[in-house]
Amino acid sequence: MIKNLFKIFFIFLILPNFLFANNQFFQEGVDLYKNKQFNEAKFKFEQDIVFNPKSEMSYLYLSKIFKNFDKRDLEEKNLKTVILLNPENEEAIFNLAKLKLETSDYKKSKELNDRLSDLCKKFCDKSENLKKEIENLSKK
């Protein structure tokens, strides 16, 4: 009986610190990202993912960091992970469509942009502009 009480007490003592630490990594990453300290921010987002493998926003920020580092393969990998975790993440779909357009994959870019148009809440204007850009570039 005392052992069970001790276990419960221990869990309630440790759990809040553990949860706070997880959230703290993400917030520190965001702050570092805003200050353009991309290497340090990358590390914090990776720490967040260790504790929370489904951290959609950490993967999204990592994709942005890899875009700054011009590492398209890692940018794409992280964007695809975001979309896997949340198929309706408009920013990730838009960024992946832009990436595909930059690599001249017009078909995939159009497909992603069409998907974005169907979901459209925040990125409606950007989706419409991207549609025009895809059309113009695919004619060349």
What ranges do the domains of the chain cover? Answer: 1-86, 87-140
Would you place residue 81 in the very low, low, confident or very high pLDDT band (cuts 50, 70, 90)?
very high
Average pLDDT, the chain: 86
CATH class of 1-86: mainly alpha
Mean pLDDT of 72-91: 97
Residue 11 above 60 pLDDT? Answer: no
pTM for this model (two decimals): 0.78
Q: Which are the contacts of 66, defined by CB distance < 8 A and separation ≥ 6?
A: 72, 74, 75, 78
- By C-alpha distance, which of 60, 91, 94, 89 is closest to 77? 60
